[in-house]
Amino acid sequence: MRIVLALDIGGTKLAAGVVSESGEVLADRVEVTDASVPAEAVLEKLMGMAGEAVGQAGVAWGDLSGAGVSFGGPVDFPSGRTVTCHHLAGWEGFPLREAVRDRSGLPTVIDNDANAAALGEATFGAARGCAHALYLTVSTGIGGGVIIDGRVYRGAASMAGEIGHTLVAPDGPVCTCGKRGCLEAVASGPSIARAAREALETGEASALASIPRSRLTAKDIAEAAVRDTLAACIMGQAGEFLGIAIAGAVNLLNPNVVVIGGGVSGAGDVLFGPVREAVARYAVPESARELRLVAGELGQRGALLGAAALALTQGKA
């Protein structure tokens, strides 16, 4: 049985684990990311965590067949360099693949976190057995990964899958990318919370008014949506926008399955109901008829298991 080293560098957490080819996490370490620490120092910390995970798993470095790295930002896949990171400073053009390979002695593959999570769901999770899949992560931002013929589709500049920057509301709010009306600007966790705050400021009655505005989150809104009209409307609007973007991708790619992961996916039917309705309304019927639209199965370990899947395929998938 092959076992691999899986590493995840995210905007809020670092994770290192030892994972079997069946997807069993034999050991892992998770710590909060310190955004003030330089890239080299982050990597040294992560490799220390990796050593702890290897020891806890009761294996030797020589027992590992490879390393995979999930990175929370754009990656130039052919060169193995990070492009940038919107949450951590100092990662512009960093030779991450080479750095991990040199420190671990293992053949190493890196990719952005959405591509890694897509491959993880296709290998171990909700998209198992599907040749064509679309993955979305809906959280602080919205990212995506595309699986075509069982392989990650990365595009000409390794930038494929950026569904969060699909235009869905031309007159909508400004996105973190600087453009107006992107999906991320109207359906991410912070965008859902912002929409609720704006509605409350107009004086609309809602159970949400009992929560301090500065602490209001998408999770609060999703929980209130089963009994509160305003919360249900806000979640429904976010689901509609997600469905519009997904329908466009379905019309273009004709996947077997669309998997939605990330923290906001935990909202359940108050989000998935409007998403499914919008996909049914806007997607080509022949593409939508057999489509499955499901929540991700890998949860908080999605990026880590995606990194493991990268290592197991060594970039061939």
pLDDT tens for residues 235-291?
Answer: 999 999 999 999 999 999 999 999 999 999 999 999 999 999 999 999 999 999 989
- CA atoms lying within 13 Å on the CB side of residue 184: 21
d(C-alpha 53, C-alpha 192), whole Å: 37
Region 60-79 average pLDDT: 95
CA-based nearest residue to 89, from 33, 36, 10, 14: 36
Could you please state the CATH topology (level 3) that the domain comprising 129-296 is classified under. Answer: Nucleotidyltransferase; domain 5 (3.30.420)
pTM of the predicted model as reported, rounded to 2 decimal places: 0.93
Q: Where are the domains of the chain?
A: 3-121+300-313, 129-296
What single letter denotes the amino acid at residue 33?
Answer: T
Q: Is 71 helix (H, G, I), strand (E, B) or coil?
A: strand
pLDDT at 251: 97
Could you please state the CATH topology (level 3) that the domain comprising 3-121+300-313 is classified under. Answer: Nucleotidyltransferase; domain 5 (3.30.420)
pLDDT at 87: 74
Burial class of residue 56, CB neighbours in 10 A (0-12, 13-18, 19+): middle
pLDDT tens for residues 15-32?
Answer: 999 999 999 999 999 999
Mean model confidence pLDDT for the chain: 95
pLDDT at 317: 66
pLDDT at 315: 66
